Chain A
Amino acid sequence: MKHLLSTRDLDRDTAVRILDTAEDMAATQQREVKKLPTLRGKTVVNLFLEDSTRTRISFEAAAKRLSADVINFAAKGSSVSKGESLQDTAQTLEAIGADGIVLRHWASGGPAVLARSGWIASSVVNAGDGTHEHPTQALLDAFTLRRRLHGEASRGRDLDGVSVLIVGDILHSRVARSNVWLLTTLGARVTLVGPPTLLPHGIADWPVTALHDLDAAIADTDPDAVMMLRVQRERMNEAFFPSAREYSAGWGLTVARFAALPERTVVMHPGPMNRGFEISSAAADSPRSTVLEQVANGVSVRMAALYLTLAGGAE
């Protein structure tokens, strides 16, 4: 695997292989010595042209646990803010010695352009691009869900027949898109729920069911997991929904709605959470919430992604 650009490109076996590798990485993170020598001598550049502290530190921790050297590059105050092109930035980083570039880009398709342009020979890992994809987030969500369902016996398994609700701002969410492709490839049934203004056009072509009424969706789909998406507050001013209170009443995981969920349903959220808005504290802090597991598993999944893209020689 030279690059990791989107979950749409992954077939079932490749996806399961990444998750299984992440299981082995996670096991090493339970030890006293957490560092592995695997990527010694390799250099990973975190090229973040859009702000993201959580994803950046997760990738940084993953690369360091594998003994890679890590260089963090943020857009603010850099040559990019002076108008340098992606080509020049990437070629400069490779001249410095980068073997892998972890790219967060504000434009959908930025990482794919970098990987396929021929500008550089480095591996490219997509750390979120525009409203397109965020593959490592979807992989860590699938990993977390698989572990909750199968525990120690997770290796080799997919998510066949698992019912997942993804709720909220699907329109602007790369997390939702990456999850749609990955979870359905792994055999899950995915249902998207949100106000009509926040469901994208063209959703009819996706391998999912789209609904507007969250209570009906919970009753109809008997979900194994409910994934709440973060609603960016600035969307409110763009009139996607009338008010925070109305959004919360219709599509938030309120105390009452959480209490009405089936006993086995887990609650997922990619973070950062808006407590009391799309998710109540009762849901976020319950034992059925996987929010902190998702963060911890993110490091293991990103170790797997870096290992599989950077450790091997020519295929």
Chain B
Amino acid sequence: MTARAVLQQADITRALTRIAHEILEQNRGIDGLVLLGIPTRGVELAERIAGLLTSFAAAENPGWTCPVGSLDVTMYRDDLGRNPVRSTAPTRLPAEGIDGKTVVLVDDVLYSGRTIRAALDALADHGRPAAVRLAVLVDRGHRELPIRPDYVGKNLPSAASERVNVRLTGTDGIEAVTIEDGGSAA
């Protein structure tokens, strides 16, 4: 198996910075923004984008911190019975909740779209956002559901047999996106 690096640390930082700017641009500022990461690595990405948003908005909105949390989708997945039982992860919503907010879901890799489908169901059990958007570090294609991302770090055409690995400093100690062939699809 050969692993090929697709994004290095600096590329990832640049991609997240661009995503943060795009979020501010489309949202026309910070009003009602809430970022929710999908465990495991989506949470770290959401926290980093939220940190960038906070610093970009500081000049106009001193003292504002971008609300950020995590949304576990395990108990809403449609493939639970096809795999060994998955461990759940905590869901932590910002104190202001999600009702009437613009929620940006953040995940590392967008693939079939089934995780996001589960996330939309999970979100509906927590409240009614004004809008839900999707930010992903990597979009590798092969969608099985009518779901599309609003903010993409890197479009990465891939074969279903290939495996995309995202490693982040906070979770893995090193930072890179790699793609390798063979094995089971990620």
Contacts and interface: CB of A to CB of B under 8 A. Distances in A.
Given A31-B125, A33-B125, A38-B76, A21 B83 contact: no
Nearest to B127: A32
B131 interface: no
A37 B81 CA distance: 13
A36 B76 contact: yes
Interface in B96-134: 121, 125-126
Interface in B166-184: none
A315 B85 CA distance: 8
Nearest to A38: B75
Given A307-B88, A311-B86, 8 more contacts: A20-B88, A23-B90, A28-B91, A38-B75, A307-B75, A311-B80, A312-B84, A313-B81
Interface in A300-315: 307-308, 311-315
A113 interface: no
Contact of A1 (B76, B85, B88, B90): B85
Of all A-B residue pairs in the complex, the 4 with the closest CB atoms, nearest first, are A312-B85, A24-B88, A38-B75, A33-B125
Contacts of B87: 17, 20-21
Contact of B85 (A23, A31, A36, A311): A311
A8 interface: no
Contacts of A31: 125-126
A24 B86 contact: no
Contacts of B5: none
A208 B42 CA distance: 44
B145 interface: no
A315 B84 contact: yes
Contacts of A155: 90
A269 B128 CA distance: 40
Contacts of B125: 31, 33, 35-36
A27 interface: yes
21 contacts: A1-B85, A20-B88, A21-B87, A24-B72, A24-B88, A24-B90, A28-B91, A31-B125, A36-B125, A37-B76, A37-B121, A38-B80, A155-B90, A308-B85, A311-B80, A311-B85, A312-B80, A312-B81, A312-B84, A313-B83, A313-B84
Interface residues of A toward B: which range?
20 to 34
A31 B71 CA distance: 13
Interface residues of B, number: 18
B82 A36 contact: no
Contact of A24 (B76, B85, B91): B91
Contact of A313 (B76, B82, B91): B82
Interface of B: 72, 75-76, 80-91, 121, 125-126
Nearest to A33: B125
Nearest to A17: B87
A66 B75 CA distance: 9
A12 B80 CA distance: 24
A313 to B, nearest CB: 5
Contacts of A25: 88
Of the listed residues B81, B85, B125, the one surrounded by the most CB atoms of chain A closer than 10 A to its CB is: B85
A21 B72 CA distance: 12
A35 B124 CA distance: 12
A33 B76 CA distance: 14
Contacts of A36: 75-76, 125
B75 A312 contact: no
Interface string A9-52: 00000000100110111011001010111100000000000000
Given A36-B76, A37-B75, A38-B76, A24 B89 contact: yes
A23 to B, nearest CB: 7
Contacts of A21: 87-88
A170 B113 CA distance: 53
A314 B88 CA distance: 18
Interface string A132-154: 00000000000000000000000
A21 B88 CA distance: 6
A314 B81 CA distance: 8
A135 B91 CA distance: 27
